[in-house]
Each structure stands twice: as structure tokens, then as C-alpha cells.
A and B are shown apart, each in its own frame.
Chain A
């Protein structure tokens, strides 16, 4: 075991914004005796316990699985979506990444398409709208051919899996200077365009998903690659290139409108 101090003391500068309040503000809250083995979420839990006992309103934040796969948690920590550690969701970020005496700035994921609900909680339902517009293969239940009827090369299967690893957390949007959802959209478009099962609807899917993304108020990709850097599942911007290709192909060479 590495030698680490067992507990550290921190100051949080947390974004507080009540529901239906137009503007929020930062509030300084001490976080005392934080075990370095805690996750960031567990640290917030312990701060909230303290706030509750003091009769104050706890910090509102979303989280669920606490193992980095559900995509519910997320905040901008010291200017970075999900905090300083690469390929790590907020719930998997551990306090051993911080030092005694640190001041940590915690803000919600900010984007025009993600309205703040309360404190660190944002509304990401726009992602569901984009998925409803085409993030699927139209295969009704029943009647599917045998799973082995359609061999898929390992290379393609692996690439599809890489693209499918997205957890829909929204860190890519929060990190992007244009608040674009291109990495999110490109993950699903890539996965399904790579696989033979997804090809029949590829053109329609790319057009519909991009159109809905625009309508939801997300910006366009400006090649800053901040999304890739913030993505806890390390989705590559190669997927965005593929999305662009699929979108152009669909726009110019398909009969889809």
C-alpha cells in the first residue's frame, strides 16, 4: 500500500441554484476529515450529512450506480467535466487525487440544451429526444434470424463496441466550447453504421439524429477535441469523422429527407 494521509480537509466552492431561479451563485462549504478512500460522491454525501444536521439544504446532485456505468453523475470539477482524472466518472474519482487544504470548484454541466434543475442537477432529456429520433435498429420483437446467421468480423465488432461504450453522461457537451453533442450522437451512429444490421437505416438515422441534435440547441463540432478528453469511456473523435461521413453521404446520395 502506498503511504497516504488518511484524511484531508478541503474547501468546496459549490454552485448553488434553487429551482426556477434564473441565476445561481458559488457557496464556500468546508469538507472536513475526508477519507482519501472516499469517492467524490461519497465526499459529497458526507458534506450533505453535515449540512442536514446543521439544518441547511444539502447540495443537490444526481448519481445512481456509483460504479461508472449508468452515466447519471457528473459535475465540472476544477474546470473539468468529471474532474481531473482521465477516463473516470465523478463517482469513480477518488479523493486521493486531491491534497489537504485544496479548494475545489464544483459546477453543473453547463450547456444551453442542459437546463439547470437545482445546484448540480441538470436536465439531459435532450439526449433521449435525439435517441428517439433514430438511435436504434428497427427490429420488432420476434422473427430475428439466428444470431450466427450474419458473421461480423472481429474488427468491426470491436469498433462497434468501442463506439457503443458511451454512457450518455453529457460530459462531452459540458467540455465542448460549442456545447456540441457530436461525440454522443456519433457513438450511436457509428455503432449502428458499422454493423451490417444497422445499414438499411443508416442514412435516415444520421439525418434524423443530427437534425434533432440541432433542434435541441446543441452547437456544432469545432474540432477542439475537448469531448474526447473529457469522455469517461474514452470515445474517440474518429466517431465524429464517421458521423460526418454518414451525414454527408445521407445528404448527397440518399433519397432520405
Chain B
């Protein structure tokens, strides 16, 4: 099968302009005739809903939470990148493009990444116009800071709550359209299935999470903005309800899944402490600007950190990567932390943590300055761990945070199903094998504010859509299948709870498909997952009723998807025998233990096609063509 990504011809810098000109337009008076379903209200979903409604389309927006303002973009802390070069350090669109494609270890499309860098500047302008209270310097101009994987300060921020402020900006724009009657809001709804008619995405079946009823909604296009699948690892920085369900259910309907093994393990999270734990809280990467990462030089040194003198400390990132130091990209920092702990130099109760120390920064800049930059993060850390980072170094360890893989989309952000568009973390397109810090917010908003409004018009103008309603038989079939699935889950009546299964799946994935992977382990994981899945369908215990608010039932449905999806991640990790970015195959490393790519055999997007329940999916490949950057071994030394 050939995958046409519909990348415009011509020089890289002109592709997007040319494409926007070549896309057919929908007459303003005709836009009101189209109905669009947007699923998810994070940065991508909220910005898309608002922007599409502003153009005159009728939008129905769904979210799993009780309010669109609660989508998990809200929790992004550190910032958002843009190539404004306000700091006069020589930043440019080209440099942001180059850093992003290099940071992704050359596994993303040049054209997509360049467009992202171009749009980054518009995003900042748009957000300022909406009243997002970005940090400012004394002259009243926008402030910037540096972030992992970059040597220029290009990150815009609103204290440690940048995601919250950007999301509330987009949410405001969305609510304005709700007030204007252009967006109908459907909170507390979960997508159960995507409905295809004549091969086109024409609607969804959703479960009302309050009363358990299944509801059908027809539309002319469906836009999925449903985030990533980091919760496959159970312990992650994701929210409780973040899940792969919508993406996986679309995959089962024929949307292909790209690079599922590309997951990001974030280096600075509060370490694991016990089995009761349900989440690992992220401490913003921005902390690495001023914090110094270290472990005791000698394995087994159990002295308190303040008792360990300088000469017995190993500032391993600064030593190993003198030019980037503590600011190396996330994948590099995570693996380095794991290596230290594997060597017996970990700290804390579980010995699975490293120090992030602010003592030097506090001495240099004063406590007040540090509090202004990181106060809320320090407070959050103290609440959770009962230790103050002002007094004692933080302890951190890597945790599952973001997933670069996602549904395959072309340059228009359309999946392999006509009329199904995928935005934000839910698609695969811009971050390659590793996402740089402060780039997720940028991508979510670029997709929602500035790409989908044009490309969806191109689709409508060039397509024939038959008139349908939600009374069509396809909706009835989907709803029936969903109901049967729910009944099956409710009737098992076994002995193990859903969380108990989730924890086990998470552990399998963390151990064998986490920060480092090898062939034998991946094969073992396949067997373990298949066994766990079989047990799940015989032994899961669900309380309560299906036609009620029932969190356990929601979680069971998502886990059922994860138990199948985890297998695709493993197949992908097995097939990609190279190391790249966050995907580290132990068999493929440099002498210094860094990820070693195999450009000859793996310079492609791996695209998986559903082949039926319990069947190994089919693999397709989209070659990646690099005309503007030279592929090199990433070096942060």
C-alpha cells in the first residue's frame, strides 16, 4: 500500500503557503451547512472547536470530563516554544524546525515540522490577544526561558501553569462559541465507536457517563483530539481518564496507527513510593534550568544528601554532556538516570531516584527569585513528599509522560479514513521519536487554531457527502455492538478489580517496553499480555450497574482496549530494531551507550493496520525523505 502524505511540492519554506492557496475553499454561506464533531477539549480540541465555529461551521464538541476546561492539557507546566527571537540569540523558524527534527531523532516529516515552527509565532500572538497572562519582563514585554533540548531561550510561560492558561484561553474561545450557539457542548460523554458510511467518517456513538445511555451523533466530519496513550503504563503523569480508547476504536475501523512504540518517558517526575500509588506527578522540565542533577559517586552511599560532600557527588549530566549539561533532551536525561540507578547509585527509599538540587541556584539568585520561578512546583512537591526543595534536594525519576506515536495523518491531518481528522497528541506527525519540551502545547494549538480550519475546508470542497442522519442503520449497528461489549464486561463477575489488572499491564509494559527494550523481553511481554488479556475476559469484577455513573465500567472498557493496543506497541518495538529517540533497543547502541539509529533500514514511519481481533496487524511503511537537513548522530556533548 502506498501512503500519500499529500506533502506539497516546492521549497520547504513555501510549502504551507502554497498549500493554503491550493486548498479549495468553502463559501462562507455554505459553511453553516456542515456539521463537525470534535472529540476532546484539550488544546487541540478546544482550539479546533472554537476556530471552526468562528468560520461558521456547526460544531458538536464532546469531552469525557464534566467540563471542557478540565482536559489534561491543563496540567502542562513549563511552557510553549515559539521562534520569535525576542531574546536576540539568533533563533529563527529554521532553527526551531532544525532543533525539533533533530530532537525527534530524524523520525518526523520535514514539511510538518517546518509548518509547526512557522505557526509557532502566530500561536503566541493569538494567545496574547485572548488574555493569556504570560510572564513579562520589567519593560512589560514577554519573557522567555530555555528548556531541554535547546540552546536558545524560546519558551513562553505563565508561571508553572502554562498549559492551564493556554487551555483556559482556548476554553474561553470555545465557550464564546457555545454562547453564540455555534458549538453544542457534550460533556461527560465517551466515544464508544466511530461510524463509517460509504467509507467516510460520518459520526460517533458515545456513552453518556451519567446515565450510561448510548447516544448516536451524525456529522460530515469527525475530528479526534483525544490525547495520548501514556496510561498503558498505569503509572504515568497522565490524568486518570486519559486513554487510548478513541484512537484504538478508530484504528479498529480502519484508521492506521503510526509508530506506537514511540513513547516519552519524562525525566523529572516524583518517584514511585508504593503500590497504592495511582499516578506519578511531573515536576516541570524547566526545573532543569536551575537545578543540578546528581547522585552519590559511590554505589551504596546512603548518607543524607546534605552530608555528602562535593567530591563524593557525581553531576553525571554535566560531566557527560558539557555543552547541554542538565538541559539534554528528555530521552537522554531519562536513560542517564536509569543507568545511574541500575549501577546502584540511586537515592531515596526505593533507590530508584536521583537528586535535583537547587542549593547552588538559591545561593546565586536568592530564595525569592527561585520561589518566583518555581514556587508552585516546590509547593506541590512538598505537599506530595513532605519535603521542601528549598531545604533538601528534590528526588526525581523518569515516568511515562507523552506518546509521540498516534493515528497516522497526512499533511492535512486526515487519517486513512476520509473525513476522520486527528489533532494534537492523538496523531503521530510532528515529534518523531522524541518530543522536545514545550513543543506539545505548540503542536496542539497549531493543529487546532491554524491547520484544521483550512484543511477541513479542502476536504468538504472536494468531497461528495450523502445526506444522512443518526437514524442510519450504521449507527444502530455500532450502538448494538457497543451495548453487547458493555453487557459482556458486566456479566463476567470474576474476582479481580479493573485497577488490579491495569497495574499488572502497566508493570509489564514498563519492564519490557519502557525506557529500554530488547528482543527477548519484548517477546516475553507479548506472552504476558496475551495471558493477562485472557484472564481479564474471564476474571474481571465490575460493581454496580451499566446504566449509571460507573467509573469501574468506564475503566474496564479502556483497559480492554489497552490490553489489545499494548500488543501493537510491542510489535512495533520488535520490528524497529534500531534505537531512536525514546525508543531504545539495547541491541542498537553506540560505544558510549547512546541510541544508535539505522537510517538505512528505518528511516520510515511504521504504520499498523488492524487485521482483526487477536490477529497480528499488518505493517506498512511511509518513507521519510530528508531534503533540507543532514541526518547525523545526535550529540549533546
Size of B's binding interface in residues, CB under 8 A: 84
A138 to B50, CA, bound (A): 11
Q: Which of A124, A139, A145 has the most CB of B within 10 A?
A: A139
**Which of A49, A152, A191 is in CB contact (< 8 Å) with B136?**
A152
Query: Cβ of A66 and Cβ of B278 under 8 Å apart?
Result: yes
A215 to B286, CA, bound (A): 43
Query: Cβ of A66 and Cβ of B543 under 8 Å apart?
Result: no
A131 to B75, CA, bound (A): 20
Query: From A157, which residue of chain B is reached at the shortest CB distance?
Result: B136
B38 interface residue (CB < 8 Å to A): no
**Chain B residues, CB < 8 A from A53:** 495, 497, 541
Query: From A52, which residue of chain B is reached at the shortest CB distance?
Result: B543
A211 to B384, CA, bound (A): 40
Query: Cβ of B69 and Cβ of A168 under 8 Å apart?
Result: yes
Known: A94-B384, A131-B175, A137-B172. A45 touches B133 (CB 8 A): no
**Chain B residues, CB < 8 A from A150:** 128
A46 to B172, CA, bound (A): 37
B178 interface residue (CB < 8 Å to A): yes
Distance between A191 CB and nearest chain B CB, rounded to angstroms: 7
Q: Which of A85, A121, A131, A152 has the most CB of B within 10 A?
A: A131
Known: A19-B211, A58-B552, A66-B279. A165 touches B161 (CB 8 A): yes
Query: Cβ of B133 and Cβ of A62 under 8 Å apart?
Result: no
**Chain A residues, CB < 8 A from B279:** 66-67
B350-403 interface (Cβ within 8 A of A): 379-380, 383-384, 386-387
**Chain A residues, CB < 8 A from B175:** 128, 131-132, 135-136
Distance between B105 CB and nearest chain A CB, rounded to angstroms: 29
Our count of residue pairs bridging A and B at CB distance below 8 angstroms stands at 221
**Chain B residues, CB < 8 A from A135:** 172, 175
Query: Cβ of A128 and Cβ of B68 under 8 Å apart?
Result: yes
A151 interface residue (CB < 8 Å to B): yes
Query: Cβ of B75 and Cβ of A67 under 8 Å apart?
Result: yes
Query: From A41, which residue of chain B is reached at the shortest CB distance?
Result: B278
Surface stretch bound by A, among B137-145, B413-421, B629-637 = B137-145
Known: A123-B66, A125-B187. A153 touches B140 (CB 8 A): yes
A60 to B74, CA, bound (A): 23
A35 to B277, CA, bound (A): 10
**Chain B residues, CB < 8 A from A96:** 386
**Chain B residues, CB < 8 A from A1:** 386-387
Query: Cβ of B179 and Cβ of A147 under 8 Å apart?
Result: no
**Chain B residues, CB < 8 A from A134:** 179
**Chain B residues, CB < 8 A from A161:** 133, 135, 158-159, 165
Query: From B273, which residue of chain A is reached at the shortest CB distance?
Result: A37
A241-257 interface (Cβ within 8 A of B): none
Distance between A129 CB and nearest chain B CB, rounded to angstroms: 9
Query: Cβ of B129 and Cβ of A58 under 8 Å apart?
Result: no
**Which of A51, A132, A145 is in CB contact (< 8 Å) with B179?**
A132
B241-281 interface (Cβ within 8 A of A): 241, 273-274, 276-279, 281
B538 interface residue (CB < 8 Å to A): no
**Chain B residues, CB < 8 A from A57:** 543-544
Distance between B478 CB and nearest chain A CB, rounded to angstroms: 26
Query: Cβ of A69 and Cβ of B126 under 8 Å apart?
Result: no
Known: A144-B122, A168-B69. A128 touches B178 (CB 8 A): yes
A145 to B124, CA, bound (A): 10
**Chain A residues, CB < 8 A from B499:** 45, 49
A12 interface residue (CB < 8 Å to B): no
Q: Which of B65, B138, B142, B175 has the most CB of A within 10 A?
A: B175
Distance between B208 CB and nearest chain A CB, rounded to angstroms: 12
Known: A55-B543, A64-B65, A64-B240. A145 touches B129 (CB 8 A): yes
**Chain B residues, CB < 8 A from A142:** 122, 126, 450
Distance between A96 CB and nearest chain B CB, rounded to angstroms: 6
Query: From A121, which residue of chain B is reached at the shortest CB distance?
Result: B549
A56 to B135, CA, bound (A): 50
Surface stretch bound by B, among A105-113, A172-180, A192-200, A217-225 = A192-200
Query: Cβ of A64 and Cβ of B239 under 8 Å apart?
Result: yes
**Chain A residues, CB < 8 A from B47:** 141
**Which of B70, B139, B161, B164 is in CB contact (< 8 Å) with A72?**
B70
Query: From B372, which residue of chain A is reached at the shortest CB distance?
Result: A158
Query: Cβ of B548 and Cβ of A154 under 8 Å apart?
Result: no
**Chain A residues, CB < 8 A from B450:** 141-142
A117 interface residue (CB < 8 Å to B): yes
**Chain B residues, CB < 8 A from A147:** 84, 124-125, 127-128, 134, 142, 156
Query: Cβ of B159 and Cβ of A92 under 8 Å apart?
Result: no
A57 to B575, CA, bound (A): 44
Distance between B540 CB and nearest chain A CB, rounded to angstroms: 10
**Chain B residues, CB < 8 A from A128:** 67-69, 175, 178, 185, 187
B462 interface residue (CB < 8 Å to A): no
**Chain B residues, CB < 8 A from A56:** 543
A118 interface residue (CB < 8 Å to B): yes
Question: C-beta contact mask, B101-133 vs A, less than 8 Å → 1, else 0?
Answer: 000000000000000000000101111111101
B98 interface residue (CB < 8 Å to A): no
**Which of B54, B127, B278 is in CB contact (< 8 Å) with A140?**
B54
**Which of A72, A123, A136, A151 is in CB contact (< 8 Å) with B176?**
A136
Query: From A212, which residue of chain B is reached at the shortest CB distance?
Result: B179
B449 interface residue (CB < 8 Å to A): yes
Query: From B128, which residue of chain A is reached at the shortest CB distance?
Result: A147
Query: From A168, which residue of chain B is reached at the shortest CB distance?
Result: B69
A41 to B281, CA, bound (A): 14
Distance between A240 CB and nearest chain B CB, rounded to angstroms: 19
A165 to B499, CA, bound (A): 32
Query: Cβ of B383 and Cβ of A145 under 8 Å apart?
Result: no
B422 interface residue (CB < 8 Å to A): no
Query: From B135, which residue of chain A is reached at the shortest CB distance?
Result: A157
A163 to B411, CA, bound (A): 39
Query: Cβ of B173 and Cβ of A136 under 8 Å apart?
Result: yes
**Chain A residues, CB < 8 A from B204:** none
**Chain A residues, CB < 8 A from B129:** 137, 139, 144-145, 197
**Which of A2, A117, A124, A139 is in CB contact (< 8 Å) with B549?**
A117
Query: Cβ of A92 and Cβ of B383 under 8 Å apart?
Result: yes
A5 to B384, CA, bound (A): 17
Query: Cβ of B128 and Cβ of A65 under 8 Å apart?
Result: no
B168 interface residue (CB < 8 Å to A): yes
Query: Cβ of B125 and Cβ of A133 under 8 Å apart?
Result: no
B86 interface residue (CB < 8 Å to A): yes
Query: Cβ of B65 and Cβ of A70 under 8 Å apart?
Result: yes
A139 to B50, CA, bound (A): 11
A71 to B68, CA, bound (A): 11
Known: A141-B51, A191-B133. A46 touches B549 (CB 8 A): no
Question: C-beta contact mask, A58-94 vs B, less than 8 Å → 1, else 0?
Answer: 1010111111111110000000000001011000101
A42 interface residue (CB < 8 Å to B): yes
Question: C-beta contact mask, A34-49 vs B, less than 8 Å → 1, else 0?
Answer: 0101110110011001
A160 interface residue (CB < 8 Å to B): yes
Query: Cβ of B278 and Cβ of A70 under 8 Å apart?
Result: no
Query: Cβ of B133 and Cβ of A157 under 8 Å apart?
Result: yes
**Chain A residues, CB < 8 A from B276:** 35, 37-38, 42, 45-46
7 A-B contact pairs sorted by A residue (CB < 8 Å): A70-B239, A72-B70, A131-B172, A151-B139, A157-B133, A161-B135, A168-B70
User: Which are the 8 A-B pairs with shortest beta-carbon distances?
Assistant: A151-B140, A136-B172, A144-B129, A132-B179, A144-B125, A139-B129, A161-B133, A160-B133
Beyond known contacts A35-B274, A39-B384, A70-B74: 7 more, CB 8 A cutoff:
A45-B499, A52-B542, A52-B543, A144-B122, A147-B124, A161-B158, A197-B129
